[in-house]
């Protein structure tokens, strides 16, 4: 299994990253994708990805986009071009829209559009972050989707919303929020959409389920997410983990 979204480069993992990676392997989580967040963090992210053999994406998160409209992603382009031969670089992202961040909101759309364009030029999929801006994101994606599409990560919406993304060719990243008893819309989404619509992720160290909210999230949560999906889809955990791994392999060409 692959955790398709884990910030394993974050300092929360500095004290025990080696041990955690060992535990991941013991539990059959063979790899993870570390998404890019901000230019200032890219070098550290790349160093950790390389050290452990993790996959990675490069991009600018909507919380960290520069507060200007004259978008210049030449630094991102340059870095990606220098790594085009690296098979571990699998996507652009994470990028997207987040209405809860009022400070960057006026600038987010321009930064997202530039990264969608870049993904299309480079033939890479995108990892998308979206909070309370689904109509805006769907409008944008219906106009300018990169050819390889991508994933709406940390998805927690209703089946109707999920189906709109799936019809546009996007997958939904399902993580720890599925384990919350009150996540009814998300439970319905997992029940009603085909397995092809989903990939597995944790967004570690964030997005711990409520039962573990005071604790750091880790990729080790994947087994519980698979078990919950198996329960909701009335299928075996083995089948769920196989099919969702295939989806990740297909989307990111791993």
Maximum alpha-carbon separation in the chain? 50
| Other Cβ atoms closer than 10 A to 22 | 11
Residue 130: strand pairing partners: 97
Q: Which is nearer to Zn ion, 98 or 203 (CB)?
A: 203
7 known member of a binding site: yes
Nearest to 138 by CA among 91, 170, 114: 170
Q: Determine whether 142 is exposed, middle or buried from the number of CB atoms within 10 Å of its CB (0-12, 13-18, 19+).
A: exposed
Q: Which residues contact 21 (CB under 8 A, 6 or more apart)?
A: 8, 52
Rounded to a whole number of angstroms, the minimum distance from the CB of residue 235 to Zn ion is 27
Place of tokens 């990606």: 80
Shortest separation between residue 114's beta carbon and Zn ion, angstroms: 19
Minimum CB distance to Zn ion, residue 228 (Å): 20
Please say which residue, 105 or 188, places its beta carbon nearer to Zn ion: 105
Task: State the Cα angle at 201 between 29 and 79, rounded to 5°.
Answer: 95
Nearer to Zn ion, 63 or 107 (CB): 63
Of 3 and 203, the one with the shorter C-beta distance to Zn ion is 203
**Does residue 94 have a known ligand-binding role?**
yes
| 144 carries a ligand binding annotation | no
Q: Residue 203 CB, nearest distance to Zn ion (Å)?
A: 5
Q: Is 153 annotated as a binding residue?
A: yes
Binding string, 188-207, against Zn ion, x = CB under 5 A? ---------------x----
Where on the chain is the footprint of Zn ion (CB under 5 A)? 203
Please state the residue numbers annotated as binding site for a divalent metal cation: 5, 7, 94, 129, 153, 203
């Amino acid at each position: 299994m692959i955790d398709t979204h884990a910030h394993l480069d974050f300092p929360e993992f500095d004290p025990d990253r080696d041990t955690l990676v060992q535990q991941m392997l013991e539990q059959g989580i063979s790899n993870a994708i570390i998404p890019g967040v901000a230019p200032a963090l890219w070098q550290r992210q790349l160093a950790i990805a390389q050290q452990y053999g993790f996959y990675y994406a490069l991009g600018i998160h909507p919380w960290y986009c520069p507060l200007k409209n004259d978008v210049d992603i030449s630094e991102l382009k340059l870095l990606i071009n220098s790594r085009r031969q690296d098979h571990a670089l699998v996507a652009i992202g994470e990028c997207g829209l987040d209405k809860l961040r009022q400070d960057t909101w006026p600038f987010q759309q321009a930064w997202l559009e530039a990264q969608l364009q870049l993904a299309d030029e480079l033939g890479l999929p995108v990892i998308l972050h979206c909070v309370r801006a689904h109509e805006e994101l769907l409008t944008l994606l219906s106009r300018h989707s990169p050819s390889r599409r991508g994933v709406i990560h940390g998805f927690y919406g209703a089946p109707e919303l999920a189906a709109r993304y799936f019809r546009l060719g996007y997958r939904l990243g399902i993580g720890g929020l599925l384990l919350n008893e009150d996540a009814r819309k998300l439970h319905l989404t997992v029940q009603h959409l085909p397995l092809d619509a989903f990939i597995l992720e944790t967004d570690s160290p964030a997005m711990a389920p409520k039962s573990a909210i005071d604790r750091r999230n880790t990729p080790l949560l994947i087994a519980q997410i698979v078990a919950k999906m198996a329960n909701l889809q009335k299928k075996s955990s083995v089948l769920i983990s196989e099919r969702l791994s295939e989806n990740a392999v297909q989307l990111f060409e791993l």
